[in-house]
Amino acid sequence: MIKEIKFTDKAIKQINHLLSTRDKGSFFRIAIKGGGCSGFQYDFSFDQKQNDDDLKHDNILIDKNSADLLKGSEVDYSEELIGNSFKINNPQSKSSCGCGVSFSL
């Protein structure tokens, strides 16, 4: 179970909406991968299976390493004129790029 990561109601609503358009049994996966202009980047995808090291919250999966880097974070969904996106407020992040997808620790 994912305890130390918060999800806003808007984020949960959007995740559930996106999953309703996928095959039954799909999961929404949040991961942190190396890359981007600041060293790490958030990755949002769909998955059909839960791995042994995944932490689970309802229909959301986060691998253990990513969960450690997301500890204390809040996942939100933002609707703006320039576009809609998931936003992560990560207190462990020292800096992030302008796009909000890439960050450094």
Bridge partners of residue 46, in order along the sequence: 28
Per DSSP, the residues of 39-103 read SEEEEEEEES---TTEEEETTEEEEHHHHHHHTT-EEEEEEETTEEEEEEE-TT-SEE-TTSSEE
**Does a structural domain hold residue 99?**
no
Average pLDDT over residues 76-82: 88
Give the range of the structural domain holding residue 27, as residue numbers without chain letter: 6-92
- Could you tell me the CATH number of the domain that includes residue 42? 2.60.300.12
pLDDT for the residue numbered 103 = 52
Q: Give percent of the chain with pLDDT exceeding 70.
A: 84
**Does a structural domain hold residue 104?**
no
pTM above 0.75, yes or no: yes
Number of domains present in the structure of the chain: 1
User: Given a cut of 70, is residue 77 above it in pLDDT?
Assistant: yes
User: Given a cut of 70, is residue 54 above it in pLDDT?
Assistant: yes
